[in-house]
Chains A and B, each alone.
Chain A
Amino acid sequence: EVQLVESGGGLVQPGGSLRLSCAASGFTFSSYWMSWVRQAPGKGLEWVANIKQDGSEKYYVDSVKGRFTISRDNAKNSLYLQMNSLRAEDTAVYYCARVAGTTRGFDYWGQGTLVTVSS
């Protein structure tokens, strides 16, 4: 059974940093692109970042470029999101999601971890 379990969320002050993790199981993690998607309270979904199977390509939504870094450790079946210079508008539930092999939709999602940026 495919499982994605996020962790690392919490309360952080504006300007602070946080590192999210996503533990993957039930599939060959190193064979898939992976993504982070976020959802601000009461709002819609926003794609945040993508990373290629071997980590050689990374892509970001403009609003997080230069502040967030996506990475992965295939030996540990884990995906990460390093978030620096956090702003109030980064407050959201952050989901990790698997990119389906050929269709490019997100076929599996974690349960999400809440990040709150507030003083």
Chain B
Amino acid sequence: EIVMTQSPATLSVSPGERATLSCRASQSVSSNLAWYQQKPGQAPRLLIYGASTRATGIPARFSGSGSGTEFTLTISSLQSEDFAVYYCQQYNNWPLYTFGQGTKLEIK
């Protein structure tokens, strides 16, 4: 089983600043990684797939990078609507999936 580990568990950032979230895989997942955003009481939303490709309708301030075992989600200038929980997910082991435990992005 591929284990996905996200850090930090909670990240406090001020609006307008940059946020950097990390995701590490226990073994290489190539670029088969997605990022999701989840707000309270809502279903998750796909942000990034293929480690770096933004999904349809996702603002350019969201960017993903990395390959192999180390990945990063960067939000360049935080807007109020960006404060949420973010999950990474590997699908290199398709059709089996694994999610990270999530990073809560909160207002500083």
State the A residues within 8 Å of B (CB): 33, 35, 44-47, 50, 57, 59, 61, 95, 100, 103-107, 109-112
Query: A57-B95, A59-B96 are contacts. A44–B87 as well, Cβ < 8 Å?
Result: yes
Number of interface residues of B (CB under 8 A): 26
Contact of B91 among A45, A104, A110 (CB under 8 A): A104
Seen from chain B, the residues whose Cβ lies within 8 Å of a Cβ on chain A are 32, 34, 36, 38, 42-46, 49-50, 53, 55-56, 87, 89, 91, 94-102
Which residues from A are CB-within-8-Å of B44? 45, 95, 106, 109
Chain B residues positioned under 8 Å from A106 (CB to CB): 34, 36, 44, 46, 89
How many Å lie between the Cα of A45 and that of B42 in the bound state? 12
Seed contacts A45-B36, A111-B42; 6 additional CB < 8 Å A-B pairs = A100-B49, A104-B32, A105-B89, A106-B34, A106-B46, A109-B45
